[in-house]
Amino acid sequence: MSLWTSAAICRQKINASATGVRAGLAAIRAILHRHRLKEDDLGSVELVLAEVLNNIVEHAYAQRHDGVIEIFISPCEAGLAVRVFDTGAPMPDLTLPPGQPANIDVALPELPEGSFGWNLIRTVADDIQYVRVTTQNRLSFRIPLTQAPPPSETQTEQPS
Amino acid sequence: MNLTSQTEGQVLLINVDEPRIDASVAIQFKDQMRELSDAHPARIVVDLSRVDFIDSSGLGAIVAAMKQLGNGRTLELASLTPTVGKVFRLTRMDSVFKIHDTPAKALRAGAESP
């Protein structure tokens, strides 16, 4: 099955803010729950998406509060294919962060309080790709599931 | 952000009565942890049984809550739900924090050590 040919089972457009991310994740979780994703897989999807969306809010849209993020989720080979679009600032050097594990073998006062995000994304997701198309950032990745992916047809989408 | 605390012997037990510790509440969590733990001398155990989800901001806030204790005081965790436990494992933070199955086991573990 090609990564992008099956129809999206979930499309969300969210406001680029911490509360927008929270509401969007809850809506996506509810949709995927209806598609009978197991709790373990729901957790993986929510974790990766939370990190991706928080990064867009904090970095791509930085000081702006009118940003919009679009999320599309489709079934794919042994997982879910996720696409995330925003029109914020491009990734520095048009390159994804390496996501090295934070160094935690340090004394208590030096323990890291951040920079876990891209390591979490890269640990859970694969096939991660990023392109900038004119003013739009397009990130895509696959989240492997422990169960068969849901069928692509859905009652949650209506033709517009 | 709804945190409550109770003293159990030498231990301050903090209950997090919130479904999520995420980017939208991470700073509140850290500030309330400081208020609750400021006057307490020794062990602090945080019951996370009601927290279904944390993101990296929430994880950072929990690390910050431990760091701001200083003075040899410890912050331990109890009752991690599956997704919260996954975040601790993936970041290896499960090797930094003492993690107990339940608050009761955390209290017993403290009573056994000298």
Residues of chain A below pLDDT 50: 1-3, 154-160
Question: B67 to chain A nearest CA, in Å?
Answer: 6
Summarize pLDDT for B59-96 with one digit per residue, the tens.
Answer: 999 999 999 998 678 899 999 999 999 999 999 999 99
What is the DSSP pairing of strand B99-100 with strand A79-86? Answer: unpaired
Mean pLDDT of the B51-55 span = 97
- What pLDDT is attached to residue B1? 86
- Residues in chain B with CB shorter than 8 Å from the CB of A19 are 24
Count of structural domains, chain B = 1
Query: CATH no. for residue B96?
Result: 3.30.750.24
ipTM of the complex: 0.90
**R_g of chain A, CA atoms, integer Å:** 16
Name the residue in chain B with its Cα closest to that of A109. Answer: B67
Q: Report helix, strand or coil for A124.
A: helix
pLDDT at A157: 46
What is the pLDDT at residue B66? 94
- Yes or no: say if B49 and B73 are a contact pair by the CB < 8 Å rule: no
Domain assignment of residue B84, given as a range: 3-112
How near does any CA of chain B get to the CA of A17, in Å? Answer: 9
Residue of B nearest to A54 (CA): B23
Query: What is the pLDDT averaged over residues B26-34?
Result: 96
Q: Name the helix (H) or strand (E) containing A2.
A: none
* pLDDT confidence band for B110 (50 / 70 / 90): confident
Nearest to A111 among B20, B61, B63 (CB): B63
Domains of chain A: 10-144 (3.30.565.10)
Q: Tell me the mean pLDDT in the region B41-59.
A: 94
How close, in Å, is residue B100 to chain A by CA atoms? 20
- Chain B environment of A101 (Cβ under 8 Å): 91-92
pLDDT at A91: 97
